[in-house]
Structure 1
Amino acid sequence: MKYKLIALDIDGTLINSSHQITENVKQTIKKAKQKGVKIVLCTGRPLKGIESFLDELNLKEEGDYAATFNGALIQNTFNKDLISHLTLKYEDLVELFNLSEEIGSRSHFYDTKTLYTFNRDISDYTVLESHLTGIHLNVTTLEEVPKDIAMSKFMMIDHPEILDECIKKIPEKYYEKYTIVRSTPFFLEFLNSNANKGSGISLLAKELGLKQEEIICVGDAGNDRHMIEYAGLGVAMSNATKEIKEIADYITFSNNEDGVAHVINKFILEER
């Protein structure tokens, strides 16, 4: 099978524990792109939060794309044209914030360019998110939020043991109304019910005229599940969660062992 697109999660997949892309991974991606393979970063981060990686990998040329906010936003990185943006509304914000208060979790949320929180005692995890993504943090109130907000995602954020208990308290109806994914032990993300990394890559594949079996998706966490299930070849990192390893077609090396380079070498660069 000749693979024509590889979708790569970032945290825990593309970058190592030092938050860097190794030279080996960089060069392998460069060779795959030169061969005509689409390289698509697919992440829970906003576009601004991956600009440095796109620059580093030369993925802002004509015909380059990225999937951000866990697949809720798909766009061309060259001219910023949108393929798809599936959002949540003000009413969803009210409902999800009330839920977070009720079950005891702190929270924050995004539109396309800003990270917001209502918590005056700002969580360390909100500060971490703002730092990692380079996104401006706005401490606000529900009354100050525009009623026409197009929210890319809402996040419950807390220490893993607290979040574990909060998750147990979420009524089933919320799983029917939203896509809910746990991207890290301390982040639980709520998206438009039609938004996930799998549907995002599927929409992009349709736009590009690619078949499902021509696509590789690589990830490590709960928010990667949909795209790994969708892919012609679903790949889990060796540092992935047990759930992700169980659904993957192939398990590569860890993010600290150039696992992405191994996948590209094995399934794209080597003659198969």
Structure 2
Amino acid sequence: MTIKLVAIDIDGTLVNNNREITPEVFDAVQQAKAAGVKIVIATGRPLLGVKNILSALNLLEAGNYVITYNGALVQATDTGEAFIDEPLTYEDYLDIETESRRLETPLHSITMRAIYTHNRNISKYTVNEAYITGLPLKYRTAAEMSGKEIVKMMYIDEPEKLDETISKLPTRFTERYNIVKSTPFYLEILNKNASKGLAVQHLAEKLGISHEETMAIGDEENDRSMLEAVGTPVVMANGNPELKKIAKHITKSNDESGVAHAINEWVLN
């Protein structure tokens, strides 16, 4: 079956360890585009934080889509118009904020326009997220967050402390939210209907592309849902060993242009 849509994670997948798109990856993406394949970047970042990558890959033209905020939004890359929008409610915010104080774990919340924190002593990881995404960072109390459309929230801490927090989360959290550990120091909390996997499925349906015609390439646990949602799941050689168990193919590492290898071998061949 011909592959017509390829969803690609960024860190540890699309870019090398210097956060660069190699010439081999660029060429493979352009060849796939020329062949009519939809290349869809799937990321935890907002659109603003990934526009440089979309521009570098010539993916800002009309008809291209990007999965942002780990699947809470699917947007047209040229206009930013949201095709899928699964935000958290203010009630969700209060629930998650209360637990962050109980667990003594820093928290920030992200909308399409800014990052908000209630922590007076702002975590270095919140500052890092603002730097990576390019979003302004603002201090707001819980009461001041009413009326804001929150795309996702993140518990953030040193890896050992974050793991301790995860072990103490109430059972209802996993029932009420989609929870994804995207890095050793980031735990992302999203609407239950927001995931990279559901985003890929819905986008493929919109484009009239069957399950068998979809591929995803990833390396970490926050990619699991989209790898499980496609016909051809591909995991990087540098990927999580647990993810490799569900892969149809293992490609080369991100430092060896593994995305290019995957496209050349299983899309263009």
TM-score (norm 2): 0.97
Aligned pairs (5 A) from 1:132-147: 132-145=132-145, 147=146
Which residue is equivalent to 2:117?
Answer: 117
- 1:108 paired residue number: 108
**Stretch moving more, 95-104 or 43-52:** 95-104
**How far apart are residue 252 of structure 1 and its match?**
1.1
Show the 5 A alignment for 1:56-67. 56-67=56-67
Q: Paired residue for 1:24?
A: 24
Question: Which deviations, in whole Å up to 9, do the C-alpha atoms of 1:55-99 show, x marking residues without a partner?
Answer: 100101121000100011011112322211000011111110111
Aligned positions of 1:1-272 closer than 5 A? 1-145=1-145, 147-270=146-269
How many aligned residue pairs are there? Answer: 269
Q: What code does the residue aligned with 2:226 have?
A: M
Q: Which runs of 5+ in 2 are unaligned?
A: none
TM-score by length of 1: 0.96
**Shift in Å, 1:12:** 1.2
| Aligned residues of 2:47 and 2:80 also touching (Cα < 8 A) | no
3-state SS of the aligned residue for 1:247?
A: coil
Q: C-alpha distance in 2, partners of 1:258/1:66? A: 21
Instruction: Note the C-alpha offset of 1:119.
Output: 1.3
Unaligned runs of 5+ in 1: none
AA aligned to 1:55 is S
The Cα offsets for residues 239-261 of structure 1, whole Å up to 9 and x where unpaired, read as 21222222222111111111101
CA distance in 2, matches of 1:46, 1:192: 16
Cα displacement string for residues 128-163 of structure 1 (whole angstroms, at most 9, x for unaligned residues): 111111111112211222x22211101001111111
Distance 1:160 1:255 in 2: 23
Identity %: 46
Question: What is the DSSP-based 3-state SS (H/G/I as helix, E as strand, rest coil) of the residue aligned with 2:13?
Answer: coil
Q: Contact (CA 8 Å) 2:105, 2:157: kept in 1 or not?
A: yes
1:229 to partner: Cα distance: 0.4
1:185 CA drift (Å): 0.9
Cα offsets for 1:221-254 (capped at 9, x unmatched): 1111100001100111112122222222211111
| 1:19, distance to aligned residue in structure 2 (A) | 1.3
Question: By how many angstroms is 1:203 displaced?
Answer: 0.8
RMSD: 1.0
C-alpha separation between the residues in 2 aligned to 1:144 and 1:194?
A: 26
Q: Distance in 1 between matches of 2:139 and 2:257?
A: 38
Greater alpha carbon shift after TM alignment, 33-42 vs 75-84: 75-84
**Cα distance in 2 between the residues matched to 1:176 and 1:230:** 20
The offset of 1:104, in angstroms, is 2.4
- Offset at 1:42? 0.5
Q: C-alpha deviations, 1:5-34, integer Å up to 9, x for none?
A: 000011111111111111111111011101
Runs (4+) off by over 6 Å: none
